[in-house]
Structure 1
Amino acid sequence: MIPLAAESTPESPGGIAGWATDLMETLGAPGAGLAVALENLFPPLPSEVILPLAGFAASRGDLSLTAAIVWTTIGSVVGALALYYIGAALGRSRTRRLIARIPLVKLEDVDRTEAWFARHGKKAVFFGRMIPIFRSMISIPAGVERMPLGTFVLFTTLGSLIWNTVFVLAGYLLGENWWRVEEYAGLFQKVVIVVVVVAAAYFLVTRLRGRPHRGRHRG
């Protein structure tokens, strides 16, 4: 088998791409699934690299397109389940105690978040699987809130299937230019980061303005 990395970019990639390539060359489609499972647990491993690379492997005939999509989706669910159980082990009471120690965060905020997740948890898990940064983390509150396991697995599978299919197909269609997918995905991630930063800044400003001012009492 000719190494996938040999023709993927002008220079043979190392790092994450090289590591994922080695896994797929050794294990085939299950190797892609293993890489994605680890990506859920270690967010610095970007699915935006692993998934198009799996698609490129399929375009070369090194593994089937269907197998690439199925195994990467299995990997997504396995990784998400690990985080779900971490959230479940952490528990609601312990989570509340930890959050209560965070400056400017009130337990009322936690109550509102819990109420929101109770109403929209299915949508949060489904769409969260398609949003950079939140793709992995959404599994933890699902575990904390003890979302029914069957429901969690169903919506995690559906969201992951859509995300994985898009990126694997992109790599499949782009062939040796699979690495360009990461450039466009990076733009999307930057937009998400900006939105998160703006939302966090808004929260801090409104919370600081709402704090009572402590002045000297004049008699």
Structure 2
Amino acid sequence: MPRRYHGTRQPHRSRNALGTLMSLVAAFVIAVISQLRYLGVALLMAIESACIPLPSEVVLPFSGYLVYKGELNLWLVGIAGAIGCVIGSWVAYGVGAWGGRPLVERYGKYILVSRHDLDLADHWFKRHGEITIFVGRLLPVVRTFIAFPAGVARMPLWRFTAYTFLGSLIWCWLLAWIGLKLGEHWNTLGGYFHRFDTVIGIVFLLFAAWYVWRHVRNLRRA
């Protein structure tokens, strides 16, 4: 009996803990945007794009809710969010550009990553990968980390910035618009997106693996 009771309570406690954490995140987001308005939107999106866990699925729908109330402008929310994404992505890009490759070259052998693998990845990204910055900014999970390979490949910063801004602009406008349409129910969107984060991540990784495999096969044939 004790085991049975304990086993049935554990998932409930986990859900409560997750719910409490999300409530704290939402409270933080609400406080920042309520005080700083567009600057707050940019700041929070910069934090997320610098790979610090702060879901845009909370930031932008709440901003959309303030648009619904007439306190913010939808277009300015999108622009502020996109600017924040660019600033945060510069941080991740910098880590990839100035720290990523040497670190991987030094310690990559322990995880079976060779210099040849890095050369091939750089070549692939420079030839085919730049558009993935734009596409990646539209995908949950992937969008946060897509700047690292761009930095490692030393993608020209101005093109990285342009792709990041355009992809982020669409993402920010879309989520803020959904928050506008949801009105007082804006906070339901975060939970909806996170149900599909894992699935989207797996699908993207499978597609990336298939694309790399096809590209390597074509190189060998050439």
TM superposition score category, shorter chain reference: 0.7 to 0.9
Aligned partner of 1:174 in structure 2 is 182
Native 8 Å contact 2:75 2:173 kept in 1: no
User: Aligned-pair RMSD on alpha carbons?
Assistant: 2.4
Match of 2:120 among 107, 112, 124: 112
Matching of residue 14 in structure 1 with residue 6 in structure 2: no
Specify every segment of 5 or more residues in structure 1 that has no aligned partner in the other structure, as ranges.
1-12, 203-219
Corresponding residue number in structure 2 for 1:10: none
1:62 aligns with 2:62: no
Once the two structures are TM-superposed, the CA of residue 201 in structure 1 deviates from its matched residue by 11
Q: Distance in 2 between matches of 1:192 and 1:91?
A: 25
**What's the offset of the Cα at 1:197?**
7.6
Q: Which residue of 2 aligns with 1:34?
A: 43
Describe how 1:123-162 pairs up with structure 2 within 5 A. Answer: 123-162=131-170
Pairwise CA distance, 1:83: 1.1
Structure 1 200/117 Cα, relative in aligned 2: closer, same or farther at 3 Å?
A: closer
Distance 1:198 1:117, change over 3 A: closer
2:108 pairs, out of 94, 99, 110, with: 99
**Structure with greater helix share of residues:** 2
**What do residues 79-113 of structure 1 show as CA deviations (whole Å, max 9, x unaligned)?**
001111121221534432232321x4444433332
**Partners of 1:93 and 1:201 in 2: how far apart?**
23
| Deviating more after overlay: 105-114 vs 152-161 | 105-114
Alignment match of 1:50 (pick from 59, 63, 66):
59
1:195-210 matched pairs, under 5 angstroms: 195=203
Gaps of 5+ in 2: 1-21, 211-222
What is the rounded CA distance, in whole Å, between the counterparts of 1:92 and 1:138 in structure 2?
15
**Aligned mate of 2:191, from 176, 180, 183:** 183
Q: TM-score, normalised by structure 2?
A: 0.76
Mark the CA change 1:157 to 1:106 in structure 2 (over 3 Å): closer, same or farther.
Answer: same
Given residue 181 of structure 2, which amino acid in structure 1 is its aligned partner? L
Shift of 1:147: 1.0
Matched residue type, 2:78: I
On the 8 A contact 1:49/1:182 being kept in 2, the answer is: yes
Whole-Å Cα distance in 1 between the matches of residues 41 and 142 of structure 2? 21
Q: After the TM superposition, which parts of structure 1 deviate over 4 Å for at least 4 consecutive aligned residues?
A: 196-202
| Of 21-30 and 113-122, the range deviating more from structure 2 | 113-122
For structure 1, which segment, 69-78 or 90-99, has the greater mean C-alpha deviation from structure 2 after superposition?
Answer: 90-99
Q: Cα–Cα, structure 1 residues 101 and 20, in superposed 2: closer, same or farther, change >3 Å?
A: same
Q: Match for 1:119: what amino acid?
A: R
Q: Is the 8 A contact 2:137 2:143 kept in 1?
A: yes
Q: State the distance in 1 between where 2:126 and 2:92 align.
A: 19
The one-letter code of the counterpart of 1:160 is: S
- Seen in structure 2, the aligned counterparts of structure 1 residues 114 and 197 have a Cα distance that, compared at 3 Å, is closer
TM-score if structure 1 supplies the norm length? 0.77
Identity, in percent, stands at 38
Provide the secondary structure at the position in 1 that maps to 2:140. Answer: coil
Classify the secondary structure of the residue corresponding to 1:132. coil
